[in-house]
Chain A
Amino acid sequence: MRLVLSLFLVLFLAACAGPQVRGTGDLGLIIERASGHVTLVDTTTRQPYARIGGLGDLSHASAVYSRDGRYAFVFGRDGGLTKIDMLEAKVVKRVIQSGNAIGGSISQDGRIVVAQNYTPGGIKAFDAATLELLSEVPAEYAPGKFSKVVGLADSSGNKFAYALFEGGEIWVSDFSHPKQPTTQRFTAGSQPYDGLVTPDGRYFLAGLFGEDGVAMLDLWQPEKGARKILENYGRGQEKLPVFKMPHLRGWSVAQGKAYLPAIGRHEVLVVDVATWKEVGRIPVRGQPVFVMARPDGRQIWVNFAFPDNGKMDVIDTLAGKVVHAFEPGKGILHMEFAPRGENVWLSARDDNKVLIYDTTSFARIGEIAADNPSGIFFTTRAARIGF
């Protein structure tokens, strides 16, 4: 009896001391831009479970995930690239890879993490396991002229597509041989400001700032070159000042239509994905920044540039119009949907909170304190192309 009891005790203690076994599918992180912290969150309990500091300048920071959802790679503005263990809630490795960075991406096979840089302009590829530099592609579009890189997106075959702001081109770099990447160049148009890849990985789109329109490259048939869609969508009207560049990364395809922010205009453009022709415009209450589809595609949530960045509009894709408009907080910078979209998390920078809303009733169902929160990134991104 005594033996049994002590054996029981040993097993009990071992169970306490051992790591808690859990999956990663319902985890995520919130960027706290001003203080160099990230808060780790559980989307099932809708609570934070850890906070990690020392990540440098996180303004405009973004994150991608390893394919198992265990590791986050956080790209900071100051060129910092930090690998975080989501389960042990700690920094695994951190490198300063450039002077001024603007996000990154992870390869189809999960082995290569690529950072896109403003200074010096170009992309750099790192081993996802060790963060060792594998290779780089300087964005030298003309002899001695380097461009800022925007819109970096992963596509199949360990290729990455991106656009050159000053260079006016789309580049596709193939990292099949990670240490010897090869790059194809395509003319895009004036001042591409961001890019995205469609959920199937087929089309890369680069929004143009310097002219009305969007450059599109069919990655299945790159030999056909990039072409322009949505040309002259603001034709005949005065060019409007833009107080914040729209983001295309969180973009939306729903029910065969793509929903894109109109530059400077208080409109969301609706495009038929089969023909790539504009089929409608939906008026909204400001200059759209993020135009994001709920995972099922029924709703599109839109946030806005300064000075309308306290507002959110929700478009019902069946009705084709805004069905809910509200003011959830101050400085709404980003949003992220729960994996299947039953709730959405909004960062309210100037309220120092992340707000959680039910997407059916639009009721606020929770909030999390965070210091100047900006990007919110859930581990479900690990399995999505272009995220």
Chain B
Amino acid sequence: MVSTATGASEPDAVRQKELVRLVRQDCGSCHGMTLQGGLGPALLPASLRDKPAEGLAATIYYGRPGTPMPPWKQFMSEAEADWIVQKLMSGFPQ
């Protein structure tokens, strides 16, 4: 399972920048560059508030069968998926 520990192994600054770009540009092709949604749902703090972080991280890492959401595990670690969820829920960096 994906761990929900946050801050335990935060990606370094260079990697954080890469992940932010990945989310904005590549996740953004379905979820919108401003993360307000597109073919995929919005990923703004308000739209994620009631969802468990663990489930969201698992969706990023393993994808969601039956929907277009692909698994991203070949491009990031589980800890990095956790970090993305934590940032999405608190307001994603530009």
Contacts and interface: CB of A to CB of B under 8 A. Distances in A.
Nearest to A77: B32
A349 interface: yes
Interface residues of B, number: 17
Contact of B28 (A59, A165, A193, A241): A59
Nearest to B34: A57
Contact of B38 (A100, A191, A241, A243): A100
A244 B29 contact: yes
A60 B38 contact: yes
A77 B28 CA distance: 11
Contacts of B32: 57, 59-60, 77, 100
A33 interface: yes
B25 A118 contact: no
Contacts, number: 58
Contacts of B28: 59
Contact of B29 (A60, A148, A150, A191): A60
B47 interface: no
A300 B38 CA distance: 29
Given A77-B32, A331-B25, A241 B39 contact: no
A303 B32 CA distance: 20
Interface stretch (B9-17, B50-58, B63-71, B81-89): B63-71
Nearest to B71: A241
B48 interface: no
Contact of B36 (A100, A242, A350): A100
B20 interface: no
A165 B26 CA distance: 20
A53 interface: no
A78 B38 CA distance: 10
A241 B63 contact: yes
Nearest to A194: B39
Contacts of B29: 60, 244-245, 306
Contacts of B38: 60, 77, 100, 102, 118
Contact of A209 (B33, B68, B75): B68
B39 A59 contact: no
Given A191-B68, A209-B68, A241-B63, A34 B33 contact: yes
Interface in B1-46: 25-26, 28-30, 32-34, 36-39
A217 B70 CA distance: 29
A119 B37 contact: yes
Contacts of B36: 57, 77-78, 100
B37 A118 contact: yes
Contact of B39 (A78, A165, A307): A165
A193 B68 contact: yes
A57 B34 CA distance: 8
Interface of A: 33-34, 57, 59-60, 77-78, 100, 102, 118-119, 148, 150, 165, 191, 193, 209, 241-245, 306-307, 331, 349-350
